[in-house]
Amino acid sequence: MAAYRYSVVLLAFALLVCDSTRATPKSDEGDTAEKTKSDIADDIAPVEDVHTQKSDAVSQTQAGRTPNPETPESMQKESLRQWEATEINVDTNADVQGDEEAPDRRDAEATDSVPPPPPPKDQFQEELVIRPLQSGDIYASFQFRTRWDTDFFQQGKKVAHYRLFPKSLGQVITKFSLRELHISFTQGYWRTMQWGQPFLSAPPGAELWVWFQDTVTDVDGAWKELTNVLSGIFCASLNFIDSTNTVQPSASFKPLGVGNVTDQRFLRYAVLPREIVCTENLTPWKKLLPCGSKAGLAVLLKSEKLFHSSFHSQSVHIRPVCQDWQCTSTAWELRQTLGVVFDMHTSGQSRREWSLFKMFSRTLTEACPLASSSKVYVDITDNSQGELFDLTPATPTLSQAVVLGDRRTYSVYDLTTPEPFGTLRSLNILLKWKTTEAADMLRPLLHGERYVAGYGLQTGEIHTLIYNNHPYRAFPVLLLEMVPWYLRLYIHTLTVASKSRENKPSYIHYQPSKDRLRPHLLEMLVQLPPNSVTEVTVQFERALLKWTEYTPDPNHGFYVGSSVISALVPSVVAMDTNSTKEHPLFSSFFPCKEESAYFVRVYTEPLLVNLPTPDFSMPYNVICLTCTVVAVGYGSLYNLLTRTFQVEEPSPGLAKRLANVIRWLRGVPPL
């Protein structure tokens, strides 16, 4: 793989990467840092963020800080009391806005804060969410968000001066007229049954999907060039994306930013399930951050720990968002996320205890000076009375958010203030479990699974199982399957069955493959009955490849990328009958819109399929050679046996022939 990875393209675009040095704190460090800090000091207004994704729509309330940090118990109780008040505030004041893709809730404080001073043209936020998982593992999710109020496509004005936004990506946006770009690199498979839903799901390997501006004429050409450029920027084999693994989904991948262009001609989607993600992909990813890995949360991103985990996923999302409430002009948002799950068994040495230092072998000492907000959240929802684990240092700040249809409570550490660092000037969050028993497997509301059935190398069957574990609600899902051309799908064998009864999809979009040109694309909208398993099966035949088309390791098998299940899942908050305990009655009769359903994308596992492979070794050559020899031998033998032999007159000499010609001219019979 390394040989591919360091492809020629990489060399070509190394220049581009080197070129993209931005205003990092190296050059005018003191100046910028001081300025930012002072900005933050007198700017208490939170950032207005209308079009953020659902998953991190955080409604945050600052509880009053207790003056005496020696009594964490009383502090927690006090803060508990205080949420209720703020929660009412949130529920009644929440002004639900946003589009259907990502319904959002506004920050609660935004309503009662003074009109904010004009925000800077670009700003950077960083946050880390730590979620102790039910299995005892721990999930850490980093989010870095750079927003820039600029327009890359303004007529006659070229964007040349970059501050926080990485220049390499800005240039890519301008050059290829991108509307949205989503790229993710994932090593490992997210175990929904053990870990629940991730904040941002991604399939194993590399995934890239791009919406181009509708001004682009040659989308395929731009896509080809773009993949090569990104291959250089992210040091990955994205240059292996070509027409045989690119599709244009009609429904599954809608734009996440502003604008309502939904013409799939400008969408390209590709997955490389075989891509292996490692440090060489992490380093260029870190370089895109304004502080690099020098300060702020990014100091925790040490590859030797990140790749010593059960799951690693990093992604870059670029999209246009609204600049203000009226949405008169758009800003560009670059969101870099990195999710990692640490394994309790292998790194915990059977002591269920977590700390930042144990996870990342670093502690936090400061926020990124360029960041307007820098926060660490720890999910303490299941630990409201401290029965599951102890969290030190305790923090008085709590926050509630509806994440993935579930109301979660978080402890918040604001790194822009000096409190969390304490006297040691470093923050090392410690999480000590009180129980040692591993929990049972979860039953996530939506869950997908896929496998190849059958044996032998001629035919097979792809089974996709979609679980709806909701006890009483049916909901529709969009299933996208992208199958390479060398598995020839028999689309007439497509069956969709739930509870052993046929379940007719209400929408099917099928694009047949063309050998060596494009893959199969199958999209369908299926209604999942409550508490059911829906099985989608389709048979296929394995194609015989040309001998040059086999990979160098043909006996490893060929990958088929994950299928994608996108759905609006009914929220568990609405399912929760005990909500009256925590919330006043008048606030909880009608489920709020954003709580009634949430958007989830689930990826199934990729498949490894064996194709009929010739034995590329000596016996194979021997067989070929022998067959040739036998064919030649048999041919001549057969010839000899079937042909009748006759004694042929010796051909007349030249003189005789000449004489005959003369005789024929004379009209005399020949000799």
Partner 1 sequence: MGLLSDPNRRRALTNLLTRLNTPLCLVCYVAGVAWFMGLAFEPFTLRTYMSENAMGSTMVEEKFGAGERALAAGREFAAHKKKAGGMPVDWLVKAMQSRGLEVFTQSFSRTLPFPDENKERYMVRGTNVYGILRAPRAPRTEALVLSAPCSPGSSNNQAVGLLLGLAQYFRGQVYWAKDIIFLVNEHDLIGMQAWLEGYHHTNTTGMSWTPLQGRAGSIQAALSLELSTDVITSLDLVLEGLNGQLPNLDLANLFYAFCQKIGVLCTIQGKLQRNDWDTASGYNHAVQTMLLMVLKQASGRPWGDHGLFLRYHIEAASVRGINSFRQYKTDATTVGRLLEGMFRKLNNLLERLHQSYFFYLLPSLSRFVSIGYYMPAFSLLALILLLRSLTSAHALDLWVQLGTPAAGTEDGLAEVEQVSSPGVLSVLTPVVISHLTGVALYTLPVLSQETAVEHFPVSETEAVVLTAIAIYTAGLALPHNTHRVLSGEGTEQGWRVLKLVAVLYLAVLLGCTALINFSLGFILALTLVPVAAFVTPHVPRVLCAFLMVLLSPGCTLLLCVFVYQELQEAPVSLLEGWNLFLSVISQGILDHSLYGSLLYPLLSLLVYPCWLLLWNILFWK
- String of contacts with partner 1 for each residue 422-451, x by CB under 8 A: ----------------x-xx-------x-x
**Shortest Å, Cβ 637 to partner 1:** 7
Taking contact as CB under 8 A, which single stretch among the options 15-23, 35-43, 295-303, 553-561 is the one that binds partner 1? Answer: 553-561
CA atoms within 13 A on the CB side of 24: 16
Q: Is 463 in the site for partner 1 (CB under 8 A)?
A: yes
**Shortest Å, Cβ 53 to partner 1:** 24
Q: Which of 316, 524, 609, 611 binds partner 1 (CB under 8 A)?
A: 609
Taking contact as CB under 8 A, which single stretch among the options 344-352, 477-485, 573-581, 648-656 is the one that binds partner 1? Answer: 344-352
How many other CB atoms sit within 10 Å of the CB of residue 351? 11
**Computed from CA positions of residues 18, 20, 26, 28, in that sequence, does the dihedral angle turn out positive or negative?**
positive
Q: Which of 189, 240, 357, 550 binds partner 1 (CB under 8 A)?
A: 189
Judged by beta carbon, residue 193 or residue 216, the one nearer partner 1 is 193
Q: Which of 378, 568, 607, 611 binds partner 1 (CB under 8 A)?
A: 607
Q: Is 553 in the site for partner 1 (CB under 8 A)?
A: yes
Distance CA 657, CA 671 (A): 9
Q: Is 35 in the site for partner 1 (CB under 8 A)?
A: no
Q: Is 187 in the site for partner 1 (CB under 8 A)?
A: yes
Taking contact as CB under 8 A, which single stretch among the options 42-50, 359-367, 425-433, 610-618 is the one that binds partner 1? Answer: 610-618
Q: Which of residues 195-224 bind partner 1 (CB under 8 A)?
A: 204-205
Closest by CA to 541, choosing from 599, 606, 492, 504, is: 492
Distance CA 298, CA 286 (A): 8
* CA distance readout (Å), 220 to 176, 211, 269, 318, 484: 11, 12, 11, 20, 18
246 contact partners, CB below 8 Å, separation of at least 6: 223, 268, 269, 270, 518, 519
Q: Is 605 in the site for partner 1 (CB under 8 A)?
A: yes
Which three-class secondary structure state does DSSP give residue 95?
A: coil
Judged by beta carbon, residue 285 or residue 311, the one nearer partner 1 is 311
**Shortest Å, Cβ 437 to partner 1:** 8
235: left (phi > 0), else alpha (psi -120 to 50), else beta? left
Distance CA 112, CA 44 (A): 12
E runs forming strands in 543-630: 558-560, 564-570, 597-603, 607-609
Q: Which of 424, 614, 636, 662 binds partner 1 (CB under 8 A)?
A: 636
Judged by beta carbon, residue 121 or residue 345, the one nearer partner 1 is 345
CB 357 within 8 A of CB 305: no
Q: Determine phi and psi for 619, rounding to 5 degrees.
A: -55, -35
Distance CA 490, CA 173 (A): 40
Q: Which of 40, 45, 452, 497 binds partner 1 (CB under 8 A)?
A: 452
Judged by beta carbon, residue 334 or residue 483, the one nearer partner 1 is 483
Distance CA 108, CA 291 (A): 30
* CA distance readout (Å), 520 to 146, 247, 433, 515: 37, 8, 48, 10
Taking contact as CB under 8 A, which single stretch among the options 42-50, 245-253, 363-371, 634-642 is the one that binds partner 1? Answer: 634-642
Q: Which of residues 244-273 bind partner 1 (CB under 8 A)?
A: 273
Q: Residue numbers of the site for partner 1 (CB under 8 A)?
A: 187-189, 191, 193-194, 204-205, 273, 307-312, 343-346, 350, 438, 440-441, 449, 451-457, 461, 463, 553-557, 559, 605-610, 615, 617, 636-637, 640-641, 644-645
